[in-house]
Structure 1
């Protein structure tokens, strides 16, 4: 079984406003505003480069951010992707 590939609308399809450690994301196509915390905006930015499975997505994030030795990053990323998928900001292809 292959790993799911995730997609998100392009960056111009949403408006991001950061406030005191959280971000408001207005999703233009749905008309909904989502309140999210890091790393949700960063995951959406990484998916802005194009569709990716969780391994490729983690590699994109590691190019920009120094995660140090913070445990199971793949598991944490999967949980955040699931949350973004439930919110309708990310979907599987």
Structure 2
């Protein structure tokens, strides 16, 4: 069974990269978030279209070289954090 489908809530999102971190201003919530990789990369990929965890890992592996098992765990953790911050939601 497929897991949840994730969607980026990035309309109007403004980003600034500062020394390896990314500052995100989310106009819908009025909040500013400071995130580290792979959070900005996850948001970039989700802005291309919704995806479940498997699809997201596959898209990110096309761009970056990482161990799939370790990467999957890190991506799942970042998805939870992005969801809690209101930057990602489930469809």
Q: Is the pair's TM-score, using the shorter chain for normalization, greater than 0.5?
A: yes
CA distance in 2, matches of 1:47, 1:91: 10
TM-score if structure 2 supplies the norm length?
0.90
Deviations 1:25-81 (A, max 9, x none): 0012111110111111100000011110000001111111112x3752211111010
Structure-2 residue corresponding to 1:32:
31
**Ranges in structure 2 where 5+ consecutive residues have no aligned partner:** none
How many residues were matched structurally? 91
**Ranges in structure 1 where 5+ consecutive residues have no aligned partner:** none
Deviations 1:8-38 (A, max 9, x none): 124x520110111111000121111101111
CA distance in 1, matches of 2:47, 2:24: 14
TM-score if structure 1 supplies the norm length?
0.88
2:2–2:52 contact (8 Å) kept in structure 1? no
**RMSD over aligned Cα atoms:** 1.5
The structure 1 segments of at least 4 consecutive aligned residues displaced by more than 4 Å after TM superposition are: none
